[in-house]
Chain A
Amino acid sequence: MTTTMTPTQRSQSAAPSRRARLVPSIVSGLVLGLVGGLLVALIVAQFAHGSRGINQIVVAGYLGWAVFFFIGIGALNYPMRWAFGRTQPTHNEELELAGRGQGPWRYFRFCTDHKVVGIQYLITVFVLFIVGGAAAFLIRLEQSTPGAKFVTPGTYNTIVGVHGLLMIAATIIMITGPFGNFILPIAIGAKDMAFPRLNALSYWLLFAAVPVFLSVFALGGFPTGWTGYAPLADQANAGMDAYAFTIILFGLSVGVSAMNIVVTVITLRAPGMRWNRLPVYVWGWALSVLLGAIAFPSFMLAELLVLSDRVFGTAFFISALGGSQWLYEQLFWFMGHPEVYVIALPSMAVVAEVVSVFSRKPIFSYKAVVGGFVGVAAIAMIVWAHHLFWSGANTPLDGPFMLSTELISIPTGLIFLAIVGTFWRGRIWRSVPLLFALGFVFNFIIGGVTGLYLADVPTDGVFHGGMFVVAHFHFTLVGGMVFGFFAAVYYWFPKLFGRRLNDRLGRAHFWLFEIGFLGTFLPLFYAGEHGEARWQANIPVQFATPNLVSSLFACLLVAAVSIFAYNVISAWRSGPKADTDEWGAKSLEWTVPTPVPLENFERTPVVTGSSYDYGNGVGAQPGRSGSAYPREATAGGATLPSPEP
Chain B
Amino acid sequence: MTQQGGSTGSDIPTRTASEPENHDLREVLLWWAGLSIIAIAVWVVVSSLLLPKAATADDVFANVTVVVFTALAIPVALFVWVFVGYSLVRHRARVTATAGRPPTEAAPAIVATSGQTIAWLAITGGLCLFLVVWGLFGIYRGAQVPTKHPMIVDATGQQWLWTFRYPHPAPNAQPVTSQELVLPVNHPVQFDVTSLDVLHGFEIRAFGITLDANPGSIIPTEVVTPRKIGDFTVRCVELCGLYHSYMWAPVKVVSESSYIAWLHAASHGSAQGGSST
Contact = CB atoms under 8 A, between A and B. Distances in A.
Interface of A: 148, 153-154, 156-157, 160, 223-225, 227, 229, 231-232, 235-236, 276-277, 319-320, 325-326, 359-362, 364-368, 390-392, 398-399, 402-403, 406-407, 409-410, 413-414, 416-421, 423-431, 438, 441-442, 445-446, 449, 452-453, 455-459, 461-462, 464-466, 500, 503, 526, 529-531, 533-540, 581-584, 608-610, 612-623, 626, 628
B216 A429 contact: no
Nearest to B218: A392
Interface residues of B, number: 99
Contacts of B138: 456-458
B92 interface: yes
Nearest to A231: B198
**Top 8 A-B residue pairs of the complex, sorted by shortest distance between their CB atoms:** A465-B237, A319-B216, A531-B205, A615-B109, A584-B102, A458-B138, A365-B112, A536-B245
A188 B214 CA distance: 51
Contacts, number: 335
A529 B51 contact: yes
Given A449-B73, A456-B135, A530-B52, A464 B103 contact: no
Contacts of A458: 58, 61-62, 65, 134-135, 138-139, 141-142, 208
Contact of B87 (A320, A425, A455, A620): A425
Given A368-B117, A465-B237, A535-B245, A392 B212 contact: yes
A616 B7 contact: yes
Given A449-B77, A609-B6, A462 B237 contact: no
Contacts of A623: 102
B52 A531 contact: yes
Contacts of A406: 128, 131-132, 135
Contacts of A620: 104
Interface stretch (B35-43, B119-127, B163-171, B266-274): B119-127
A430 B92 contact: yes
Given A365-B1, A418-B112, A456-B134, A360 B203 contact: no
Interface string B238-249: 111111111010
Given A427-B103, A461-B208, A153 B2 contact: no
A398 B2 contact: no
Interface string B67-104: 00110010011011101100110011110010010111
Nearest to A234: B198
Contact of A465 (B24, B105, B238, B248): B238
Contacts of A531: 52, 203, 205-206, 233, 235
Contacts of B102: 429, 581-584, 621-623
B239 A224 contact: yes
Contacts of A421: 110, 112, 116
A534 B237 contact: yes
Given A402-B135, A614-B106, A616-B12, A367 B1 contact: yes
A307 to B, nearest CB: 18
B69 A456 contact: yes
Nearest to A456: B135
B80 A416 contact: yes
Contact of A609 (B2, B105, B111, B214): B2
Contacts of A464: 201, 203, 210, 237
A424 B97 CA distance: 19
A585 to B, nearest CB: 8
Interface in B216-266: 216-217, 219, 233, 235-246, 248
14 contacts: A362-B111, A368-B112, A417-B112, A423-B83, A425-B87, A458-B61, A465-B201, A529-B51, A531-B206, A584-B102, A608-B4, A617-B7, A618-B105, A622-B106
B59 to A, nearest CB: 7
Contacts of A236: 241
A617 B84 contact: no
A390 B244 contact: no
Contact of A223 (B21, B80, B106, B239): B239
